[in-house]
């Protein structure tokens, strides 16, 4: 079942083998990925520089009033030098190699700023203009720092825009390639694969699973580098600023490691359970929708509702358990983050009071701690994306690793001009194991002959048609066209020479014209109209509002079964195949359309080797040869009259269909 396969694909959170295969798809775009990583490095550097620059502004300029001033020689040259009331003043922390002079402290007395020496011998009362002059260097420096910070933030914005655009472009290109490979590979797979694989599962692989991979490429893989850069950069900068506070900040690291390990285990189990329950919902829902006619006719709505309610409740409970895991982890990380900040403020505040730490350093540490915990908080989302991506990758590669059961030969031979002689030689075939559908089947169809196949349901009629087109390969025997084994030819060339009209006609969304020529530019509009007239399809097409440009909805639902069948005849004739297969092509249609098809059939069969499968014996009475199949074996072979004269299986089938007109049977037998 669907959910069982879903459960099997939930492997490890990180699978190196799968990741290597995923990285192969990224290899053609390695330059753009490298450029994204390089941009992330610059963005991380800008993010790291921001708190440090604010720290410089606080300690070196905003809180400069805490520093004393020194009277220096008037001939001293320094950009921060201030001339107040005839004194050359320089901030104490900017003396450098300059010879110290009288030290003055900046204080405020009665709302007025005053420079006073420690002995009180020198007191300078500052006017507002002099106070601004004294701090002019700080004002200018803060303005410059503001401009630099604004420039860095603007540059960061531009780099972020470029990086996100490039990353999304690269991710979409990678997913485009994966989807193309997946779709192309699915098209090459044999029909046996589709017999055992639900369509919904394949649609999910091409859409949802590839989208999960896109989130992994863009949200986890590349951004992981930024997270690493940020964490390592923060640790380096913090150690450079203050070792004591750095060790204090990293004291909570063991707690984070333990919490992450516990979260990883719990989240994995919760994710697995939720995905399995979701797969059960999908399987149940798909089954119910597919069988809605039976649900209604047998009044199963209440039972199906209760069944779905139970499955849905299981999924709800599993989702709540998963939610609890994530709901606990993120607040727990926030709590650890808060604990780290409390430790920082406690230790940093003590150092600040002891004048062994500057306020700007403490601010920078708090900012860096917030930046360091950001990727840790994002871990929950990244972990979920990585889990979904690994599961999706495994499911996608399971399909890509599926070898096509029908392989072209290493050196396919050209078919050339086909005469149309078909020969089955001792053919054995089974869909599963040795449950033989065909048993030692042998017959020959001469060029230009029309051969009909009749028999009970399950006798193997349609199987013979599928084998001739190599939808499946036989286990024993040979199938020959013009004396050559069909396995010597490429599938494409073989099928180019065979036209197939089935009972259930498939039409693509588009219009009637494109459904006839199947987007083959070599087939002109004139040819389309000509073949449509030939098979009696033109008479209803010209009555449509837009005629050959009339839109066709999905599967041609707006057209009747007979109209779809006539379009299928026109489509087959437009490709002019050497061999024609009609598989119940006249079943399930109205009487009027059947007359049109009966009129078109001789035109369609003329000059072609034709194989016809039919339950209505009236449609194949003019066949050159009728082959009667029973339980996978050829039981009778001959013309209509010959088989009736034998009074065997064909006679019984004919009698069943015409039992109300027994005289017709007797007349047919006597040839009247």
- pLDDT value at 489 more than 80: yes
- pLDDT value at 12 more than 60: no
- pLDDT value at 266 more than 50: yes
Name the CATH superfamily housing domain 2-59+141-400. ABC transporter type 1, transmembrane domain (1.20.1560.10)
Spatial separation of the C-alpha atoms in residues 586 and 609, rounded to whole Å: 18
Tell which wins on pLDDT, 74 or 476.
Answer: 476
Burial of 476 (0-12, 13-18, 19+ CB in 10 A): middle
Cβ-proximal residues to 624 (8 Å cutoff; 6+ apart), any chain: 449, 450, 451, 639
Give residue-wise pLDDT tens across range 561-605.
777 878 888 888 888 788 888 877 665 566 666 676 667 677 667
Strand partners, 628: 454, 636
% of the chain at pLDDT higher than 90: 1
Task: Give the alpha-carbon dihedral of 53, 58, 61, 64, to 10 degrees.
Answer: -150
Cβ-proximal residues to 9 (8 Å cutoff; 6+ apart), any chain: 391, 394, 395, 398
Give residue-wise pLDDT tens across range 229-243.
888 888 888 898 888
Of residues 615, 624, 663, the one with CA closest to residue 643: 624
If you search the block for the tokens 């329950």, which residue do you land on? 277
- pLDDT confidence of residue 97: 66
Give residue-wise pLDDT tens across range 74-121.
667 777 777 777 777 777 767 766 667 777 777 777 777 887 777 777
Q: How many CA atoms lie within 13 A of 429 on its CB side?
A: 28
- pLDDT confidence of residue 593: 65
Of residues 87, 121, 92, 86, the one with CA closest to residue 106: 92
3-state secondary structure 433-482: CCCEEEEEEEEEECCCCEEEEEECCCCCHHHHHHHHCCCCCCCEEEEEEC
Long-range contacts of residues 82-85, Cβ cutoff 8 Å, at least 24 apart: 82/133, 82/134, 82/136, 82/137, 83/133, 84/115, 84/124, 84/126, 84/130, 84/133, 84/134, 85/124, 85/130
Question: What are the residue ranges spanned by the domains of the chain?
Answer: 2-59+141-400
CB 541 within 8 A of CB 564: no
Give residue-wise pLDDT tens across range 163-217.
888 888 888 888 888 888 888 888 888 777 777 777 767 777 787 788 878 888 8
The CA-based diameter of the chain, rounded to the nearest angstrom, is: 147
């Amino acid at each position: 079942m669907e959910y069982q396969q879903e459960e099997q694909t939930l492997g490890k959170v990180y699978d190196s083998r799968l990741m290597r295969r995923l990285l192969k798809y990224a290899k053609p775009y390695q330059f753009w990925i490298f450029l994204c990583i390089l941009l992330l490095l610059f963005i991380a550097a800008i993010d790291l520089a921001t708190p440090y620059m604010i720290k410089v502004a606080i300690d070196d300029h905003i809180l400069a009033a805490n520093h004393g001033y020194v009277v220096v020689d008037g001939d001293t040259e320094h950009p921060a030098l201030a001339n107040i009331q005839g004194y050359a003043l320089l901030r104490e922390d900017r003396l450098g190699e300059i010879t110290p002079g009288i030290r003055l402290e900046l204080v405020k007395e009665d709302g007025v700023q005053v420079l006073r020496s420690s002995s009180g011998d020198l007191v300078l009362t500052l006017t507002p203009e002099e106070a601004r002059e004294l701090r002019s260097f700080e004002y200018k420096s803060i303005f410059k720092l503001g401009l630099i910070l604004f420039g860095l933030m603007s540059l960061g914005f531009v780099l972020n825009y470029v990086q996100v655009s490039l990353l999304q472009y690269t991710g979409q290109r990678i997913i485009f390639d994966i989807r193309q490979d997946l779709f192309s590979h699915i098209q090459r797979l044999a029909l046996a694969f589709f017999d055992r694989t639900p369509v919904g599962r394949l649609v999910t692989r091409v859409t949802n699973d590839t989208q999960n991979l896109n989130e992994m490429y863009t949200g986890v893989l590349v951004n992981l580098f930024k997270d690493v850069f940020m964490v390592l950069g923060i640790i380096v900068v913090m150690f450079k600023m203050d070792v004591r506070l750095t060790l204090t900040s990293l004291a909570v690291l063991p707690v984070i490691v333990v919490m992450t390990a516990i979260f990883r285990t719990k989240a994995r189990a919760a994710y697995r359970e939720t995905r399995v329950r979701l797969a059960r919902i999908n399987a149940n829902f798909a089954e119910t929708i597919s069988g809605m006619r039976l649900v209604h006719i047998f009044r199963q709505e209440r039972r199906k509702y209760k069944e779905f309610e139970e499955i849905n409740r299981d999924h709800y409970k599993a989702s709540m358990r998963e939610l609890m895991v994530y709901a606990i982890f993120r607040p727990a990380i926030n709590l650890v983050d808060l604990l780290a900040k409390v430790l920082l403020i406690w230790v940093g505040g003590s150092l600040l009071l002891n004048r062994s730490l500057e306020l700007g350093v403490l601010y920078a540490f708090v900012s860096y701690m917030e930046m360091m915990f950001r990727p840790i908080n994002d871990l929950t989302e990244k972990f979920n994306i990585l889990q979904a991506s690994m599961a999706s990758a495994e499911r996608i590669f399971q399909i890509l690793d599926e070898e096509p059961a029908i392989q072209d030969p290493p050196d396919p031979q050209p078919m050339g001009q086909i005469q149309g002689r078909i020969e089955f030689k001792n053919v054995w075939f089974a869909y599963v194991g040795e449950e033989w559908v065909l048993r030692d089947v042998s017959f020959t169809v001469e060029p230009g002959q029309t051969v009909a196949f009749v028999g009970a349901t399950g006798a193997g009629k349609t199987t013979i048609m599928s084998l001739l087109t190599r939808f499946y390969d036989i286990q024993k025997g040979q199938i020959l066209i013009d004396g050559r084994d069909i396995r010597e030819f490429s599938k494409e060339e073989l099928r180019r020479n065979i036209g197939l009209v089935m009972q259930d006609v498939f039409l693509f969304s588009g219009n009637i014209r494109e459904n006839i020529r199947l987007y083959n530019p070599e087939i002109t509009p004139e040819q389309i109209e000509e073949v449509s007239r030939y098979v009696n399809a033109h008479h209803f097409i010209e009555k449509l509002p837009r005629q050959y440009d009339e839109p066709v909805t999905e599967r041609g639902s707006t057209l009747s079964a007979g109209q779809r069948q006539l379009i299928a005849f026109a489509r087959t004739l437009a490709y002019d195949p050497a061999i024609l297969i009609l598989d119940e092509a006249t079943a399930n249609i109205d009487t009027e359309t059947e007359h049109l098809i009966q009129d078109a059939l001789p035109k369609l069969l003329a000059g072609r080797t034709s194989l016809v499968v039919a339950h209505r014996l009236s449609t194949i009475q003019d066949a050159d040869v009728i082959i009667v199949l029973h339980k996978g074996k050829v039981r009778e072979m001959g013309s209509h009259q010959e088989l009736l004269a034998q009074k065997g299986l064909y006679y019984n089938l004919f009698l069943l269909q015409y039992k109300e007109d027994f005289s017709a049977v007797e007349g047919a037998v006597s040839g009247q």
